């Protein structure tokens, strides 16, 4: 079984996950664009039992998404990197920022959401992406 390690930029906040994520997705909502400082957010959803370790202090930030669900993001208080988040309506899962794995071989996204807010120059080369709105 594959073991994956995610960390913030300074390495103080770390997660260890076992196996492949249940879902890898990209989100084009404006909040994800602001959170990442990029044109979209990329996230991997793992079952809680797949998360073997969460180490380091976090600063939580809760915001309400477009659908009305509160999401609590956990970022490193030293470097500010968002590493993971929890969604109360999905209590059995931990969502991890794909970039925190720093692994170019990480599985490709299979879901794309909020495409109405996608930058017009953004395009996926993966044919297997399910486009949800």
Tell me the per-residue pLDDT of 6-54, one tens digit each, with 9 for 90 and over.
Answer: 999 999 999 999 999 999 999 998 888 888 999 999 999 999 999 999 9
| Residue 2 φ/ψ, nearest 5 degrees | -70, 135
What local confidence, expressed as pLDDT, does residue 115 receive?
82
H-state helical runs in the chain? 30-36
Q: Residue 8: exposed, middle, or buried by beta-carbon count in 10 A (0-12, 13-18, 19+)?
A: buried
Domain, as residue range, for 47: 3-131
What local confidence, expressed as pLDDT, does residue 126 receive?
55
Residue 17 vs residues 4, 24, 37, 66: alpha-carbon distances, Å: 5, 14, 25, 28
pLDDT digits (tens, 9 = 90+) for 73-121: 999 999 999 999 999 999 999 999 999 999 999 999 999 888 888 888 8
**CATH number of the domain bearing residue 107:** 3.90.1590.10
Q: DSSP characters for 108-124?
A: PP-EEE-GGGS-TT---
pLDDT digits (tens, 9 = 90+) for 47-76: 999 999 999 999 999 998 777 889 999 999
Number of domains in the chain: 1
């Amino acid at each position: 079984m594959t073991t994956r390690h995610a960390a913030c930029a300074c390495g103080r906040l770390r997660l260890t996950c076992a196996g492949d994520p249940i879902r890898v997705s990209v989100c084009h909502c404006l909040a994800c664009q602001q959170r990442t400082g990029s044109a979209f957010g990329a996230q991997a959803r793992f079952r809680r039992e797949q998360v073997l370790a969460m180490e380091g202090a976090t600063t939580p930030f809760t915001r309400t998404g477009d659908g009305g669900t509160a999401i609590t993001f956990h970022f490193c208080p030293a470097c500010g990197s968002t590493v993971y988040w929890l969604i109360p309506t999905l209590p059995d899962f931990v969502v991890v920022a794909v970039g925190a794995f720093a692994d170019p071989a990480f599985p490709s996204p299979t879901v794309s959401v909020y495409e109405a807010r996608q930058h017009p120059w953004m395009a996926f080369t993966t044919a297997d992406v399910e486009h949800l709105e």
